[in-house]
Structure 1
């Protein structure tokens, strides 16, 4: 099994039973993020980007299964409850993989129904897309 296949399998298992705000299976969001990315490593991080924050897995599991680069990117995409959203975005921007995945994540989150969050997402995208 490839790392991408393992990551998809793990994400499906860990997000099982979770739904988004519209009642659809939550796993559809990480899968959409993954599919919008290029390169296996980015896609692995894309499908795993919410597992530490939203599921019962520990970050050590990601490190053991997928290695340092994937672990570092997933951790950069895992928000610390005591940091501001702006600091979180800056931390994600500092990791190349995390930056690309966060851009894809925000674009997916800007789907209809999240209009109240558009200013926040637009500001975050501007930061992530800046040099």
Structure 2
């Protein structure tokens, strides 16, 4: 499968996984967020795939195996898993894991910039600023 076809597949999976979900405001469909993240990573097709999928494991019934079964390459699924924050993971430890992967770092920075453009609370601004400073090293 070509890289461009993988991006389209990731977009389809994300659109289906986030169907019926909305952003914080309760009005904007959630899929707008992965679309914005994908738009922020430039021409890097692997980063676009990960950007589309970065929240599907965390926010839907998708699993790493279901993504692989759908045709997403294992190395990209591993990056999606790396970006999936669980409730029992400390934020600083999560950022350290992300920082260990250039691909995850690129997508996470795009994710945080997207979140900052979406009416964040003062607490979220502080959180994302801290995260950006850590990942920009």
TM over 0.5: yes
Return the match for 2:102 from 96, 99, 102: 96
User: Scaled by the length of structure 2, what TM-score is found?
Assistant: 0.90
Q: Please give the alpha-carbon distance, in whole angstroms, between the structure 2 residues aligned to 1:19 and 1:58.
A: 21
1:3 corresponds in structure 2 to: 6
Structure 2 residue runs without a partner (length 5+) = none
2:51 corresponds in structure 1 to: 46
Q: Conserved in 2, the CA contact under 8 Å of 1:62 and 1:70?
A: no
1:13 corresponds in structure 2 to: 16
The answer to whether residue 123 in structure 2 is matched with residue 119 in structure 1 is: no
Root-mean-square deviation (CA), in Å? 1.2
Q: Conserved in 2, the CA contact under 8 Å of 1:50 and 1:78?
A: yes
1:68 corresponds in structure 2 to: 74
Residue 9 of structure 1 deviates from its aligned partner by: 0.7
Residue 88 of structure 1 deviates from its aligned partner by: 0.8
Q: Deviations over 1:40-64 (max 9, x none)?
A: 1100000100000001111112233
User: Scaled by the length of structure 1, what TM-score is found?
Assistant: 0.94
Corresponding residue pairs, total: 130
1:105 corresponds in structure 2 to: 111
Q: Please give the alpha-carbon distance, in whole angstroms, between the structure 2 residues aligned to 1:63 and 1:30.
A: 19
Q: Please give the alpha-carbon distance, in whole angstroms, between the structure 2 residues aligned to 1:20 and 1:112.
A: 9
Q: Conserved in 2, the CA contact under 8 Å of 1:45 and 1:74?
A: yes
